[in-house]
Amino acid sequence: MAKNKTHKKAPVSKNEVLKAEIVDLTHEGAGVAKIDYYPVFIEGALIGETVEFKIVKTKKTFAFGKLIKVIEKSPDRVEVVDKVYAQTGTMPLQHLSYPAQLAFKKKQVETVLQKIGKLEGIKVNEVIGMDSPLGYRNKAQVPVRKIDGRLTTGFFRKNSHDVLPIEDFQIQDPEIDQAIVRIRDIMRQFHVKPYNEKAHTGWLRHIIVRRGHSSKELMVVLVTTNHDFHREEEIVTAIKKALPELVSLIQNINPEKTNVILGSESRILWGEDNYKDQLMGFTFSIGHQSFYQVNSVQTEQLYRTAVDYAGLTGQETVIDAYCGIGTLTLALAQKAEKVYGLEIIEPAIENARLNALNNSVSNVEFKVGPAEEIITEWAEAQLQADVIVVDPPRKGLAPEFIESVLTMKPEKMVYVSCNPATLARDLKLLTEGGYTVEAVQPVDMFPQTYHVECVVLMSMMK
């Protein structure tokens, strides 16, 4: 007689201490133990390990456990740099060796393509990883709060609004970490009042630092609750002196009670509202609200794969949806006859047009608006494209966008995705509409985390 796999009551209780073997990892990298078929999710545990853990929360179909100790270690386990990175969630996979991280991410992509996309027999290539999987982020946005009586920078504890002091983030460009500490010390020197989220008082909410990977130029954004800037000239002078690479210093005003970091109004304190960086042989101007991939080294890998998959000969018309400031658009334009870039954020399109002009790229045209609306208009007008390239946000493609692609029927579609789950959902709809998945290439843009990006090539069946 088969064992009953359903439970009217959880077979574990809160605060119970248990031992079990880890049989799987969740998509977020937590270990999975099974107690009479009932899954318990345990952060920090790895497949094959025997662990001791304490039940901290139970639900009808699963529970959460807190790792007490590892009794039998996985060969893939490595020593963690500091537990604080697990507490903040900035490096949730730091205890997993880098080759094992890449294998984990490949399996994640394979799993969602099968379970969500219903795509059987699709070969997923080995994940393109980094030679050095630390210090890769070219952008940091850190909260500012009062801790132990003084202004402090750090990062939020997971699932809370408590800031943990951190000076070395490990995954950020070390020069960015140093810049944040220098700015923090200047703010302490001038007795700037940090933001108090509960009381909605104080002045300085966040410090944002962006640094060109190739150019080394620095942009700093101070997010404040109001326009007031006590001793502005002295503070600006001190920041300029402390940061020789600084080219842009911006004040962004966010008076709202919100988790959204940037407000709608900004003013330039010094320099211009852009810094420059080089990517794919082009020089880009990047504004403080512009999207720019945070891992410059891996972005080259991601975009080169996308351009290769497009297979351009110089005769094609290409649509680059969700084009941002035109980083991928210009690379496509090198090998196409004409490229249309679509983006909903107007300042990004202004940047894109400037970038095309500054790089002497004339066979591109940019349009502001929701990609799904523009593509629908073009499909109805029977505009023809040979290749469509998409790089949507985490929510993936809107249904009407997919419908318009299926109306337009470009010969090829290249999908750049930051979310395997929505990618798989969209691929299911596109394959049902006549496309065939030709290649899937994951790229590790965020080492030490569970995130993975993919480039997928699809072709329309004849």
| Positions marked catalytic | 418
Which two three-digit tokens encode residue 332?
């496509």
Q: How many helices (H) and strands (E) does the chain have?
A: 10, 21
Give the C-alpha separation, 145 to 254, whole Å: 15
Here the contacts of 20-26 (C-beta below 8 Å, separation 24 or greater) are 20/50, 20/51, 20/53, 21/48, 21/49, 21/50, 21/51, 22/46, 22/47, 22/48, 22/49, 22/50, 22/51, 22/74, 23/47, 25/104
Which two three-digit tokens encode residue 369?
């608006």
Q: Is 7 in contact with 35 (CB distance < 8 Å)?
A: no
Q: Is 262 in contact with 290 (CB distance < 8 Å)?
A: no
| Closest to 286 measured CA to CA, from 325, 322, 248 | 325
Give the C-alpha separation, 94 to 91, whole Å: 5
400-404-407-413 Cα dihedral, nearest 10 degrees: -120
Within 13 Å and on the Cβ side, how many CA atoms surround 68?
Answer: 14
Which uninterrupted H or E stretch holds 187? Answer: helix 174-189
263 CB-near residues (< 8 Å, 6+ apart)? 223, 252, 253, 254, 255, 256
Give the C-alpha separation, 391 to 400, whole Å: 16
Radius of gyration of the chain (CA): 24
Residue at token pair 């047009």: 353
Give the C-alpha separation, 281 to 108, whole Å: 32
Give the C-alpha separation, 327 to 293, whole Å: 9
